[in-house]
Amino acid sequence: MLLSLRYNINVSSYILNRANIFLYNTYRYNSNSQNRWLQRNSNDIYTREAKLKNWRSRAAFKLVELDDKFNLFHKKSKIQNILDLGFAPGSWSQVARSKTHPKSIIMGIDILPCKPIEGVHALQANILSKKTHDMIRLFFNEKFNLNEDDDLDQNLGYLDKSYMDTNNNDNITTNLNDSDTKHYPIDLIISDMYVPYPKDFENSNITSNLTNMPYYRLMNTSGVAIRDHLQSVDLCDAALVTAIDLLRPNGNFVCKLYTGKEEHLFKKRLQKVFRKVSKFKPDSSRSMSKEVYYVGIGKKNDIDKLDVFTT
Ligand SMILES: C[S@@+](CC[C@H](N)C(=O)[O-])C[C@H]1O[C@@H](n2cnc3c(N)ncnc32)[C@H](O)[C@@H]1O
């Protein structure tokens, strides 16, 4: 009797240990909040709809709503040069491609590697670097000259040549001689940037696969509101500097911000650059998320960067 009890205890603790090892292996990279995030996502109507539409993430719906409200894209009337900042995994670029004129040029920038979207050019680069700005300008101005042997193409990007070739016959950008257009070649900047991964994942070997597995991608925010906010303000400022450097006068701008105490300062900076500034929370943005979108319509002329960043 005693023997059998001990045997049972040993067996149960063996099973429990095995179960723990299994759970540990399965969830070692997932904190509780990440599990809750995955659970929420699998029940979410926008996530399911995104899969049906073959969009790489539910974020696509936020841009659709932004476009419905602010009329950002032009399918028939205009050819646009569009810059998508923090484009990975790529659903905003997919929306931009589907809502714009076939001759519009879209370029996505991300610090992470990401499989490019068909019909969208992509560069893996840090938008905080001045060199990235120079490369973007170069691409929009000299795109016809890029070829397989270019360093830019070889080392840094995945320029979608098949797409460029099919459009080469026509005069895509009609006023390339205009020096303003050369210096400020972009018509619309959309930025959904946020820091790529939570800290715990930095040294794990699963991170690099995730940009191409959008439905299993982990949440971006840390859950520490002040940290999320300040990092977000930094990236919004980086997007704003990009707009000052590359967006044409009268061009438009969208960027995501995690709200917090410095939001009003960022709004003031935006107001120095754009004639009209609006704040928008799309229905598809989760109500518990602190994310909002700022939209700047009509870039002013002759912006003084120092003045914008001096409060
Ligand atoms: C929330 S995701 C964007 C999702 C995307 N809009 C979509 O619809 O698929 C934010 C992206 O910003 C990128 N990012 C963050 N900091 C960056 C930087 N300094 N330069 C370029 N990309 C950056 C991250 O790597 C991440 O892929």
Domain ranges of the chain: 2-43, 55-199+206-310
- Tell the residue nearest (CA) to atom 11 of ligand 1: 86
Per the DSSP assignment, residues forming a β-bridge with 248 are: none
pLDDT (tens, 9 = 90+) of the chain, 311 residues, equals 333 334 333 434 433 343 333 333 333 445 566 666 666 666 789 999 999 999 999 999 999 999 999 999 999 889 999 999 999 999 999 999 999 999 999 999 999 888 888 899 888 889 999 889 988 998 888 764 445 555 555 555 555 554 554 444 444 444 434 667 788 999 999 999 998 754 344 444 444 444 444 434 444 667 788 888 999 999 999 999 999 999 999 999 999 999 999 999 999 999 999 999 999 999 999 998 999 999 999 999 999 999 999 97
| Active-site residue set | 256
| Domain 55-199+206-310: CATH class, spelled out | alpha beta
Give the pLDDT score at 181: 79
Ligand 1 center to 18 CA (angstroms) = 39
H or E element: which one contains 253?
Answer: strand 247-258
Give the pLDDT score at 134: 87
H or E element: which one contains 234?
Answer: helix 225-246
Which parts of 32-144 are beta strand (E)? 81-85, 105-110, 121-124
The closest-lying atom of ligand 1 relative to the alpha carbon of residue 112 is: 25
Give the pLDDT score at 73: 98
Give the pLDDT score at 128: 94
Give the pLDDT score at 114: 85
How far apart CA 302 and CA 269 sit, in angstroms, is 15
Give the pLDDT score at 215: 39
Give the pLDDT score at 19: 39
DSSP state of 302: S
Ligand 1 center to 108 CA (angstroms) = 10
Give the pLDDT score at 23: 35
- Tell the residue nearest (CA) to atom 16 of ligand 1: 195
Give the pLDDT score at 11: 37
Give the pLDDT score at 211: 46
The closest-lying atom of ligand 1 relative to the alpha carbon of residue 57 is: 9
Ligand 1 neighbours, Cβ below 6 Å, are 56-57, 59-60, 86-92, 109-112, 126-128, 192-196, 220, 235
Task: Output Rg (C-alpha) for the chain, integer angstroms.
Answer: 23
Ligand 1 center to 111 CA (angstroms) = 7
Q: What ipTM was predicted for this assembly?
A: 0.99
**Sequence-distant (≥ 6) Cβ neighbours of residue 121 within 8 angstroms:** 105, 106, 107, 108, 139, 157, 158, 159, 160, 163, 164
